[in-house]
Structure 1
Amino acid sequence: MGITINKKPELDIDGSRWVEIAKGAKILVGSIASPMYKSHQALIKRHLAAIDQQTQVGTKAFNLADIPNAEFEADDDLFIDLAARHLILDWEGVDVAEKPGVPAKYSPELCVQLIRQMPQVYFIAVQTGLDVAVRAEEKAKETAGKHLPRTAGAASGRARQTKKSVGSMSA
């Protein structure tokens, strides 16, 4: 019995892709494998874990009355801000109510407002960022257009009879 080591999918850390979020509006999404996205995501997770540990979340000792009167950031807010700063890189076809029809310059702050108005933008960005990272769609398209390589043997079908050479006959 042996061990087989599979090659992990190659991650695209610098790639990006435009995705339509509404008619006439699209966002440019980067890879979730980018170092800044990954490191900031890890920081957020550690921050939330520290809060859980302080308040004893997940243990029998957890008691709502024991939680200090302090406001903790919601994880939704942190992950939305992360996407707006490091996953969504630009947009086209987005404007603001104060200047309708005038394209708004991309900023993380405006992007957070867009995500709050259209929460599906966050989920589209995360899914696209994952696709960019593993380049799943591009690989599938590349593979779909290629023919399988020919094998060393002849085409499949009924086998031909082989002839025995004269020297191989035994008497």
Structure 2
Amino acid sequence: MGIKLSSLNVPSADGSKWVEIPAADGEEGGFKIKVGSIYSPEFRSAQAAVQRHASKVVEKEHAGESEFDLTVSQQASFIEDEQMRRIVASCLILDWDGIEDDDGNAVPYDAKTCADVVMIARPETFTLAVQGGVEVAQQKAENIADTVEK
């Protein structure tokens, strides 16, 4: 009996890793998501666009001035959160395992379902995906540094 590579939980050759999402109260088991690097061009570009948009909305509404409306800032924050959920689902999460329909059939990964259903019902999915993306990026940086030293 040997060790399974998947149990080592390190990034694969394609620069991704599987992250466990533990079972919630009342669930039989958790599920796994496959995440890529937060430094992927797609993720960084989309994240920057969301941040630029949010900054413009707050700036447009006179942030820091007496006529600033806090509700506008809160709405901008809500929109930014929603957009980031969609970006994580479409650019960072690459696949999942353990998501089933009511009949017990595996549901193929779909970014829209991930953002609109899974991340709403299980908000820790977002945080764990980003943490996993950071770990993938750090591992890639360490691999590059090791290669340069050689």
TM-score normalised by L of structure 2: 0.71
- CA shift in 2, pair 1:62/1:93, >3 Å: same
Kindly indicate whether residue 82 of structure 2 is the aligned counterpart of residue 77 of structure 1.
yes
Residue 128 of structure 2 aligns with an amino acid whose one-letter code is I
Gaps of 5+ in 2: 1-13, 23-28, 144-150
- Equivalent residue number for residue 162 of structure 1: none
Corresponding residue of 2:18: 18
Aligned to 1:29: 35
Structure 1: 4+ residue segments shifted above 3 A: none
Matched, 1:125 2:129: yes
Cα deviations by residue, 1:69-97 (Å, 9 ceiling, x for unpaired): xx76621101100100001110011023x
Compare CA radii of gyration and give the structure with the larger one. 1
Identical counterparts, % of pairs: 36
Number of equivalences: 120
SS at match of 2:119: helix
How far residue 129 of structure 1 moved from its aligned partner, in angstroms, is 0.3
Structure 1 segments unaligned to the other structure (5+ residues): 1-13, 140-171
How does 1:40-79 map onto structure 2 within 5 Å? Answer: 40-63=46-69, 74-79=79-84
Cα displacement string for residues 40-72 of structure 1 (whole angstroms, at most 9, x for unaligned residues)? 00000001011111111233331369x6xxx76
Distance 1:63 1:24, change over 3 A: closer
Larger helix share, 1 or 2? 2
Q: Please give the secondary structure, in 1, of the residue aligned with 2:95.
A: strand
RMSD: 2.4
The aligned amino acid for 2:58 is D
Q: Name the CA distance, whole Å, in 2 between partners of 1:118 and 1:90.
A: 16
The equivalent of 2:112 in structure 1 is 109
* TM-score scaled by length of structure 1: 0.63
Indicate the SS of the match to 1:84: helix
